[in-house]
Structure 1
Amino acid sequence: MPPRLGLILAANRVYAAFQAAVARMDKSLNPRDTIWRLQNHVFALSDLVYLIHIVNSAFWLVIMRVPGFPLKLFIPVLHIGLLLVPFTSQFFLPALPITTYLITFYSSQFIPNNRRPSIYVSVLPTLESVLFGANISDLLTRYTHPILDVIAWLPYGVGHFTVPFIVAIFLWLFRPKQALHLWGRAFGWMNFVGVVTQIIFPCAAPWYEVIFGLTPAEYSMKGSPGGLLRIDNLLHSHGYTIAFSNSPVVFGAFPSLHSACATMEALFLAHFFPQVAPFAWGYAAVLYWATMYLTHHYLIDVVGGSCLAIAFFYFFLPDDLKGPFATASPTGVLANGSAHYNGHGNGRSKYEIYDIEEPHLDGDGLSYELSSDAGSDEEDTGIAYRSPGMNGGSWDPPNSAMPLIGPGAKQARRTHKHTASIASLIRADDRVEDGWSPIGNGTFVFPPTPTRSERDVR
Structure 2
Amino acid sequence: MSLVRPVSKALQFVWTAFVAAVARLDKSFSPSDTLLRIQQHTFTLSDYIYITFNVSLFTFWLYLMQSPGFPAKLLIPFLYITALAIPFTSQFFVPATPVFGWLITYYSSRFIPDSWRPNVSVVLLPTLESVLYGANISDILTRYTHPFLDILAWIPYGVGHFIIPFVVAAFLWLFRPKQALHQWARIFGWLNLTGVIIQILLPCAPPWYEVIYGLAPATYAVRGSAAGLARIDALFHGNGYTVAFGGAPVVFGAFPSLHSACATLEGLFLSHFFPQVTKFVWIYVLVLYWATMYLTHHYLIDVVGGSSLAVACFYLLLPDEVKGPFATSLPPNLGGSSMRSKYQLYDLEEPRTRSRSSANGNIMRAADYDLDDLSERESDEEEVDITFRSPVVPDAPRSAVPLIKPNTGSGAGAGAKIAASRSVGSGAPGREGHRHTASIASLIRADERAEDGWSPIASSFSGLPPTPTKAERDAQV
Q: Shorter chain as normaliser: what TM range?
A: 0.7 to 0.9
* 1:149-228 mapped onto 2 (5 Å cutoff): 149-228=150-229
Q: In the alignment, does 2:77 pair up with 1:76?
A: yes
What is the CA-CA distance between 1:4 and the residue it aligns to?
Answer: 3.0
Residue 254 of structure 1 corresponds to which residue in structure 2?
255
- Displacement of 1:82 after TM fit? 0.8
| 1:430 corresponding residue in structure 2 | 414
Within 5 A, what are the aligned runs for 1:261-272? 261-272=262-273
Deviations along 1:261-315, whole A, 9 cap, x unmatched? 0000000000000000111101100100000000000000000000000000011
What secondary structure is seen at the aligned counterpart in 2 of 1:247? Answer: coil
Deviating runs (4+, > 6 A) in structure 1? 352-355, 358-362, 433-437
Partner of 1:42: 42
Question: Which residue number corresponds to residue 344 of structure 2?
Answer: 347
What is the CA deviation profile of residues 416-439 of structure 1, one whole-angstrom value per residue up to 9, with x for unaligned ones? xxxxxxxxxxx97534479999xx
After TM superposition, the structure 1 = structure 2 runs for residues 70-109 of structure 1, keeping only pairs within 5 Å, are: 70-109=71-110
The Cα shift of 1:74 comes to 0.7
Q: Give 2:161's aligned amino acid.
A: H
Tell me the secondary structure at the aligned position of residue 94 of structure 1.
coil
Q: Tell whether 2:25 aligns with 1:25.
A: yes
Q: Does 1:369 align with 2:365?
A: yes
Question: How far apart are the structure 2 equivalents of 1:101 and 1:119?
Answer: 22
Q: Which residue of 2 aligns with 1:443?
A: none
Match for 1:383: what amino acid? Answer: E
Tell whether the 8 Å contact from 1:254 to 1:301 is kept in structure 2 after alignment: yes
Aligned-pair CA distance for 1:31? 1.2
SS at match of 1:285: helix
Cα distance in structure 2, aligned partners of 1:155 and 1:232: 16
Q: Which residue of 1 aligns with 2:435?
A: none
Q: C-alpha displacement at 1:371, in angstroms?
A: 3.8
Aligned residue for 1:28, secondary structure, equals: coil
Query: What corresponds to 1:400 in structure 2?
Result: none
User: Partner letter of residue 342 of structure 1?
Assistant: M
Q: What is the aligned partner in structure 1 of residue 468 from structure 2?
A: none
Q: Which string of whole-angstrom CA distances, capped at 9 and with x for unpartnered residues, describes residues 74-98 of structure 1?
A: 1111111111111111011100010
> Judging changes above 3 Å, is the alpha-carbon distance between structure 1 residues 381 and 76 closer, same or farther for their aligned structure 2 residues?
same
Evaluate the alpha carbon distance shift between residue 216 and residue 358 of structure 1 in structure 2; reply closer, same or farther with a 3 A threshold.
farther
Please say if residues 33 and 87 of structure 2, whose CA atoms lie closer than 8 Å, have aligned partners that are also in contact: yes
DSSP-derived class of the 2:181 partner: helix
Answering whether residue 137 of structure 2 is matched by residue 141 of structure 1, we say no
- Which residue of 2 is the match for residue 295 of structure 1? 296
Distance 2:290 2:343 in 1: 41
The answer as to 2:60 corresponding to 1:63 is no
| Aligned counterparts of 1:16 and 1:429: Cα–Cα separation in 2 | 65
How far residue 7 of structure 1 moved from its aligned partner, in angstroms, is 2.1
Following the alignment from structure 1 to structure 2, what is the Cα–Cα distance between the partners of residues 302 and 429?
A: 90
CA distance in 1, matches of 2:419, 2:130: 102
Q: What is the CA deviation profile of residues 116-155 of structure 1, one whole-angstrom value per residue up to 9, with x for unaligned ones?
A: 0000000000101111111111111011011110111111
Match of 2:121 in 1: 120
User: Which residue pairs with 1:456 in the alignment?
Assistant: none
Please tell me whether residue 6 in structure 1 is matched to residue 6 in structure 2. Answer: yes
**What is the deviation of 1:345?**
7.2
Aligned 8 A contact 1:156 1:287 in 2: yes
Contact kept, 8 Å, 1:320 with 1:345, in 2: the verdict is no
Whether the 8 Å contact between 2:257 and 2:303 is mirrored in structure 1 is: yes
CA distance in 2, matches of 1:433, 1:287: 85
Is the 2:343–2:350 contact (alpha carbons within 8 Å) kept by the matching residues of 1? no
- Structure 2 unmatched ranges of 5 or more: 382-410, 422-477
Bigger Rg, which one:
2
Letter in 2 for 1:430: A
- For 1:185 and 1:236, the matched residues in 2 are separated by 38
CA contact (8 A) 1:232 1:239 kept: yes
How far residue 200 of structure 1 moved from its aligned partner, in angstroms, is 0.3
Q: Which runs of 5+ in 1 are unaligned?
A: 389-426, 438-458
Number of equivalences? 390
Contact residue 331 and residue 343 of structure 1 kept, 8 A:
no
SS in 2 for 1:342: coil
Contact 2:177–2:338 under 8 Å retained in 1: no
Structure 1 residue 39: Cα displacement: 1.8
2:362 counterpart SS class: strand
* CA 141–434 in structure 1, closer or farther in 2 if over 3 Å, else same: closer
- Cα distance 1:385–1:135, how it changes in 2: closer, same or farther (>3 A)? farther
Letter in 2 for 1:280: V
How big is each residue's C-alpha offset from its partner over 1:160-197, in whole Å with a ceiling of 9 and x where there is no partner?
11100010111011111111111011110011000000
Match of 1:222, SS?
coil
Cα separation, partners in 2 of 1:163 and 1:387, compared to 1, 3 Å: same
Secondary structure of the corresponding residue to residue 120 of structure 1: coil
Q: What's the CA shift for 1:3?
A: 2.7
- The offset of 1:212, in angstroms, is 0.4
User: Equivalent residue of 2:344, what SS?
Assistant: coil
2:376 corresponds to which residue?
A: 383
Check the 8 A contact 1:101/1:195 in 2, yes or no: yes
* 1:98/1:432 CA distance change after superposition, 3 Å: same
Q: Amino acid of the residue matched to residue 4 of structure 1?
A: V
Letter in 1 for 2:363: S
Amino acid at match of 2:376: I
